[in-house]
Amino acid sequence: MGCGSINTKFRREKSLKSNGTQEEKKISNVQEIVVQASNFVRENENKFQDIYRLGRCLGTGGSGEVKTCFHRETNIKRAVKIFRKDLLTNEASKANLEKEINILKTLDHPNIVRIYEYFEDSKRLYVIMEFCKGGELFEEIIKRQTFSEKHAAQIMYQLFSAVAYLHNLMIIHRDLKPENILLEEKNGDLNIKLIDFGTATYSGASRARGEISGTAYYISPEALVGHYTEKCDLWSCGVIMYILLSGIPPFDGKTEDDIIKKVTAGKVNYEINPWPNISEEAKQLLSVLLCPESNRISATEALRHPWVTSRIDRTVTNKEMLNEVLSNLRNFHASSKLRDAVHTFIATQCMAPQDTKGLKEIFLIIDKNGDGKLSKEDLIDQYTEILGAEEAGREVAKIMKEVDTDKNGFVDYTEFLKAALNMEKVLSAENLKTAFKVFDRDGSGSISAAELRKILEGSAPSDDRVWNEIISEVDQNGDGEIDLQEFQDIILAKF
């Protein structure tokens, strides 16, 4: 990335879906192109200051700082992590930064922070991310001291969901703590976003190295000796849950050595206040989180625990919005790869948080098992309430065909957003012009096959004719490229 010896182009990570076991198949026709939000998370070759204006400082760290920033064209507020190159002093810190961006690019979950793009100049690297108004969960804990069991369960459900999603992708976070969990809003809303993947790794990747990563209060006993499986994240979840309910960590001490000794011993005190007044269900869940690794439950099992399920409210507060979303899903048609790509770009890069907040709540309600994606069964359950079982089955089959554009058998969060959003708002003239500028990478006023390829090809190789075919579908004047008018015509067709 130009940070001293850092390569500007990020190394391509192994495919998460194949876990690096096989080469990706060559794309031989248009239908094999998979459009994902990660296609649009890339280095912006403009100057950061030309695209964003800086706001206030949110925090500082060892290699830089986090500030608010505002997109100059749309005025959307975001956060920017600014890394000073002179402070990235070793190869490990550079590699961790590359890895963090590559991991974040692949993640698509409502409780994990979204990354938008990154910039680089001679002195700094700028990583643009979602802005969360509510600040760190750590600060909220200090303010409240303790949370009710209902509120604690609301937070833990979201955290377990995000962790289950990561573990399904073979990713271990390794540094779960309240400082790495943000609240979306200031108004007491407890919707969270998981951040900071700087020490995250792929399952199995760190066992051979024997490295120690994490924070003393939250690190698991086995991680203290450099042994990592995904279960280390569940220990950290247990520590967070204990703190939410009691206001103090389960393993405390005057020094880090004192804390580590208590973590190693693993004895949890439920005799002190307020534990006598906390439910046995809560203590039972903690007993299978703060325990030896071999006995520790998974995030998926934690989501099904009675303490969690009995305290999660799945009542739809805005039934009018739910009905609109269900209607939009039924009526969504991608119709072409270009149109699907534009929908994906606008849904993930152009919409303000207030445009998607209600949709996120509906997504989480439909997602019955909390795995961060909608299965066919999730959708059938929802549509059966309004259509009956037989018609619901038929409608959901159509929805899966149109909305599940990566064909993984689920409606992922971005797929849900692009289909559920109000099309009038999504396909506004302003959004279409913004999208056109992104696809027209050289600013020539038209989109070439080569430019489409750069954005949508991903890591799988492809034939030139695939991209020429997309162009020819749209190219009305036969010049081999797509101008703004042709671009708008194809996107708005059948709207």
Tokens of 129: 């991310």
Tokens of 67: 């500030």
Tokens of 153: 């369960």
Alpha-carbon span 39 to 414, nearest angstrom: 12
Rounded to 10 degrees, the C-alpha dihedral 469/470/476/481 comes to -100
360: Cβ contacts below 8 Å, ≥ 6 apart: 110, 191
Give kind and range of the element (H or E) at residue 124. strand 124-129
3-state SS assignment for residue 54: strand
The answer to whether the annotation marks 81 as part of a ligand binding site is yes
Residue of 50, 108, 121, 175 marked catalytic: 175
Alpha-carbon span 487 to 481, nearest angstrom: 10
Alpha-carbon span 81 to 116, nearest angstrom: 12
Catalytic residue check, 313? no
Long-range contacts of 305-313 (CB under 8 A, 24+ apart): 305/281, 306/281, 307/149, 307/153, 307/279, 307/281, 307/282, 308/153, 308/156, 308/157, 308/160, 310/281, 311/149, 311/150, 311/153, 311/154, 312/153, 312/154, 312/157
Q: Are 431 and 342 in contact (CB under 8 A)?
A: no
Residue labelled with tokens 């998974």? 298
Q: Are 206 and 171 in contact (CB under 8 A)?
A: no
383: Cβ contacts below 8 Å, ≥ 6 apart: 326, 391, 392, 395, 396
Positions at the binding site for ATP: 81
* Residues with a known catalytic role: 175
Positions at the binding site: 81
